[in-house]
Homo-oligomer: A and B are copies of this chain.
Amino acid sequence: MLIKDVCNECKLTKKAIEYYEKQGLLHPEISENGYRKYNNKDLAVLKEISVLRKLGVSIFEIKSILKSSNKSAALSKCKFLMELKLQKATAQLISIEHLVNYYDIDKEFEIVQDSVDKLFTIKEKLIQAFPGTYGMYLCIHFGKFLNEKIDSKEKEDAYYNIINFLDYIDNFEISTELESYMEKYFSIMKKTDMEDISSNIIHAVDDVQNFIEDNRERLEEYLKIRTSEEWKATPVYKIQQLLLEFQKNSGYYDIFIPNLKILSPLYYAYIRKLEAANEILVEKYPQTKKMYD
């Protein structure tokens, strides 16, 4: 099939198709006269690109989706990004409404700093900075701690420390090993799965006693697996190790976490609970102690 027909089929322009080819998204056969011949596979790819572009997915993301073995999960990250964008746009619209009702720039200036700018950049950079969908997980897990107002000098400093840290991380060398493990085992998780995990953790931390009692059987089963020797052969263990290493090397524990504690009192409270919860757990199940060594 020649390009004109492809344009009609896929609702794309010539220029767009040329561009996608230049970006390496497809490689149509080129005849002797220089004309491109698109086969069914090319058509399917172009149709996929066409849909995804119209849904606002970037070429970069489309690349990873096309390569991915689990397209739904790969798209899930885009969905999350879109939701963020939507939230931001909603916040912007609210401010515009303020101004339409009463055009007071100085007043809105203060609001915009906090509600539009600061609240979103951390999340955006989190997603950017961490490999694969891990940034998204952090975003979900730390979500509510990142919505607090920055109402003191210390918090502002903490904010900028985190921003700088994330910019730094973004250029950080990730071991290709971690990256490939991520792609292989982490990318099959959708956003909803992550939310479940996160809320389970928070729920467990919130009330360890009850959690232990309610889930005694499953917990003991889980601990048996986690402390077994076979566990160390699983890819999940491997990922955990690699992630731990990455976080230690990157300054996650030295910069990100301490500053998040300052930025968010809510997070500080959560961490204290987490530590207390951990103590109780270790007391009941001493074997958990060396789990994180």
Residues of A within 8 A of B (CB): 11, 44, 47-48, 50-51, 54-57, 71-72, 75-76, 78-79, 82-83, 85-86, 89-90, 92-93, 95-97, 99-103, 105-106, 108-109, 112-113, 116-117, 190-191
Determine if A82 and B78 form an interchain contact, defined as CB atoms under 8 angstroms apart: no
Assembled-state Cα–Cα distance A265/B116 (Å): 42
Assembled-state Cα–Cα distance A113/B53 (Å): 12
Given contacts A51-B109, A54-B117, A105-B51, contact A100 B82 (CB under 8 A): no
Copies in the complex: 2
Assembled-state Cα–Cα distance A137/B71 (Å): 42
**Minimal Cβ-Cβ distance residue in B for A110:** B51
Determine if A83 and B93 form an interchain contact, defined as CB atoms under 8 angstroms apart: yes
Question: Across chains A and B, which 8 residue pairs bring their CB atoms closest together, nearest first?
Answer: A55-B92, A71-B103, A79-B96, A54-B112, A48-B105, A56-B92, A72-B103, A82-B93
Assembled-state Cα–Cα distance A100/B191 (Å): 10
Determine if B106 and A47 form an interchain contact, defined as CB atoms under 8 angstroms apart: yes
Given contacts A85-B89, A103-B71, A113-B11, contact A96 B55 (CB under 8 A): yes
Determine if A105 and B75 form an interchain contact, defined as CB atoms under 8 angstroms apart: no
Residue of B47, B75, B97 touching A99 (CB-CB under 8 A): B75
- Chain A binding surface SS class: helix
Residue of B47, B89, B106 touching A89 (CB-CB under 8 A): B89
Report B-chain residues with C-beta under 8 Å of the C-beta of A108.
51
Residue of B44, B93, B105 touching A86 (CB-CB under 8 A): B93
The 25 listed contacts between A and B (C-beta, < 8 Å) are A44-B105, A47-B105, A47-B106, A50-B109, A51-B95, A51-B105, A51-B112, A54-B112, A55-B92, A55-B95, A55-B96, A55-B99, A55-B112, A57-B96, A72-B101, A72-B103, A75-B103, A78-B96, A79-B100, A82-B89, A82-B92, A83-B93, A85-B89, A86-B90, A100-B190
Assembled-state Cα–Cα distance A83/B101 (Å): 16
**Minimal Cβ-Cβ distance residue in B for A109:** B51
Assembled-state Cα–Cα distance A117/B102 (Å): 34
Report B-chain residues with C-beta under 8 Å of the C-beta of A79.
93, 96-97, 100
List 10 additional contacts besides A47-B106, A51-B112, A56-B89; criterion CB under 8 Å: A47-B105, A51-B105, A51-B108, A54-B92, A56-B92, A72-B100, A78-B96, A82-B89, A82-B92, A82-B93
